[in-house]
Amino acid sequence: MLNKKSSLLKMLLIVAVLVFTVTLVGCTGGDNEGDNNNQDNQQQGDQNNGNDTNEVAALDSVEKISAEWLQAGHANVSRPLSYAGIRGSQCAPCHSGNSLERIDTEDPYTAEGIESGEAHGTFIVNGNEAELPSPIGCATCHASTGGEIFESGVVPAEFNIFGEEEWNVGSSNALCFTCHNGRRDVDELHEVYTSGSEENKTEYPHHGWSSLATGKGGIEYPDADYPQSEKHKELGCVGCHMEETEDGYASHTFKPDVATCQRCHNDATDFEIGALKAELEEKLATLEELVLAQIPGAVEIGVSHGTTPAVDANGEVVWNADIPAEALIGAYNYAIIKMELEDGASGAHNPKYAKALLDESIKKLEALE
């Protein structure tokens, strides 16, 4: 009972103080000051209303971004995550969100998958012993290591497949190139193939289109020139795949919009602009014929793990130490452009570079005849 009386007395005292304060302010201020106070209160109210509106708009954008992300490949929880996401330090950082998020911390994600005996390429982890991998989410790209790469525009040396130093891309595309880059040291492959070594005989480009987008992912001949489609490289991944929406946020479906192409290609109605695709297909056919002529028994150039450089009529890999380097290099560059076209990109990721890779490979093989 005493507690209730005490609480009541405190409340009455607070009310009395507030009333006294309001009265005092009202008495000491003139008419102009009262008007000013009203204006200040009105402005404060408007500001609060504006803040509320901004917060609602921001929340609405987050909800839309999340819905888009759920439909995109980064949210995929199937094979890319359950396979490569637990396959060790070489694959996990780009296939498991928690791996990249914690790669430079005192608590790295180190789940090592064990290959299942039931099916090739299936990895499992014991849920009682290892933390499961997570999809590529918001924190992966906007916090920790991913956030630093996004802001700095620099690919760390540990992710730079093209060298041993940091790669200064100069834009947020660096975050994309950290993982989407072909994943092969093409200078090393050139050396292996030209030296006659049997190492890496079944190498293939991990991503055809990203090998082109970086402008560095094909196997190049030192004595040849490889021009770049600079405008396409300037736009990069973000410029084409994350267009600003009508609501003012960057799209997270990661689907390109033909409207971006129409800025330069006014008559474009889809991604097959002009005769580029047909030109690349013609060059591919020529290159394939020349490569297969150098690999007896081969009927098709391989474009995936375990099928390169070529396969026979039974789908078995054809390999022997007498295959010339020009054929191996040609097969690799063929796979890049073939994958680009099959993915529906039509060569748009770097048209000039794509043509040069095919042209130089064709020249070297023709010289063998």
Query: What is the rounded CA–CA span in Å between residue 206 and residue 181?
Result: 8
Query: 67 in a domain, yes or no?
Result: no
User: Would you say residue 355 lies in a domain?
Assistant: yes
Query: What is the distance between the alpha carbons of residues 46 and 192, in angstroms, rounded to a whole number?
Result: 69
Domain assignment present for 220: yes
Is residue 215 a part of any domain in this protein? yes
Closest CA to 348 of 242, 235, 218, 182: 235
Classify 124 as helix, strand or coil.
strand
- Provide the domain limits for residue 299: 186-227+273-366
Q: Confirm whether 76 is domain-assigned.
A: no
Residue 120 belongs to some domain of the structure? no
253 domain residue, yes or no: no
Dihedral of CA atoms 220, 223, 224, 229 in degrees, nearest 10, equals 70
Tokens of 335: 């796979």
Mean pLDDT of the chain: 82
Domain count, the chain: 1
Q: What is the pLDDT of residue 264?
A: 92
Indicate whether 164 belongs to any domain: no
pLDDT digits (tens, 9 = 90+) for 147-178: 999 999 999 999 999 998 999 999 999 999 99
Q: How far is CA 236 from CA 97, 137, 173, 192, in A?
A: 23, 21, 6, 31
- The predicted model scores a pTM of 0.81
Q: pLDDT of 247-294, one tens digit each?
A: 999 999 999 999 999 999 998 888 888 899 999 999 999 999 999 999
